[in-house]
Amino acid sequence: MADDKSISDHYRHGELLPAIKAALVKPGKSIDRLTPADLAPVDEFHIGGRLATENLFAQLDVSADDHLLDVGCGLGGAARFVADRYRNRVSGIDLTPEYIVTGQTLCEWVQLQNQVALHQGNATSMPFQDESFDGGYMLHVGMNIEDKKGLFQEINRVLRGGAYFGVYDVMRIDPGELAYPVPWATDNSICRLADPEQYRQALITAGFEVSAVNHRRDFALEFLTRLGSKMSAAGGPPALGLHTLMQASTPVKVGNMFDNIVAGYIAPVEIIARKM
């Protein structure tokens, strides 16, 4: 895709693994005694972080025998959470090479490298065989992918019949001019928002049955407000957090995202589906 390099470059840090390691050392964390929870402040790169991941998975039928697909896995935070919580295998795919290399090292740090495998590639053309997975999910991914129908058709291809799929994406709610930059885009050149009905129709066309569409605007505003208050009270962000990923641009990106949600232009939405 023409946007692949621009999207990957947007997320590229350059020195991400050393930055995470340095941030862990500050509060006295030891690399050889880390847990997935220790990494959650940086590797759950979506509104609500670990809490949002737990909310989504509470609606999915996950079992220890499942091999799951993580679409747009980023650093693999959700994959490690799921593998640790449910004791299953997870394969993730993401466009950004630095995220994959860093994520695999993080898996080794928490001894989950035998359960979690991360792959670099495009989610609309995945290197997996047909019907490879028992279920899957994507967290804040579709905002950079224009071809939602093609995306869900490819996901459908690699899922077994009856497999569940959970979506938690920022979606377009009402018309309006967005304030940029936001965490997933510096400007509208790589921003590919769609509304919940467009997602639902794309899923149905691809062969899914949609059982729930949950608007999470209030959850997002409460979470972001609480996060801002906590940082103000502490005099700044913690050693490890999303600012480790987004660096100096973090306040303006998160601030613009918050303002866009308040204005009613965008909001995170969950969609629960199953392959027919």
Query: Does residue 48 lie within any of the structural domains?
Result: yes
Quote the CA–CA distance of 168 and 232 in Å, as a whole number. 28
pTM beyond 0.85: the answer is yes
Cα-only R_g, the chain: 18
Query: Does residue 164 lie within any of the structural domains?
Result: yes
Query: Does residue 226 lie within any of the structural domains?
Result: no
Query: Does residue 229 lie within any of the structural domains?
Result: no
The domain in which residue 117 lies consists of 4-173+190-216+267-275
Q: Which amino acid is at 21?
A: K
With H, G, I as helix, E, B as strand and everything else as coil, classify residue 272: strand
Query: Does residue 262 lie within any of the structural domains?
Result: no
Query: What is the helix (H) or strand (E) element at residue 20, kind and residue range?
Result: helix 16-25
Query: Does residue 235 lie within any of the structural domains?
Result: no
Query: Does residue 260 lie within any of the structural domains?
Result: no
Is 137 buried (19+), middle (13-18) or exposed (0-12) by CB count in 10 A? Answer: buried
Q: What are phi and psi of 127, to 5 degrees?
A: -85, 40
CATH of the domain at 200: 3.40.50.150
Q: 183 CB contacts (<8 Å, ≥6 apart)? A: 45, 242, 246, 253, 254, 257
Place of tokens 């999207």: 7
pLDDT tens, the chain, 276 aa long: 448 999 999 999 999 999 999 999 888 889 989 999 999 999 999 999 999 999 999 999 999 999 999 999 999 999 999 999 999 999 999 999 999 999 999 999 999 999 999 999 999 999 999 999 999 999 999 999 999 999 999 999 999 999 999 999 999 999 999 999 999 999 999 999 999 999 999 999 999 999 999 999 999 999 999 999 999 999 999 999 999 999 999 999 999 999 999 999 999 999 999 999
Q: What domain count does the chain have?
A: 1
Query: Does residue 185 lie within any of the structural domains?
Result: no
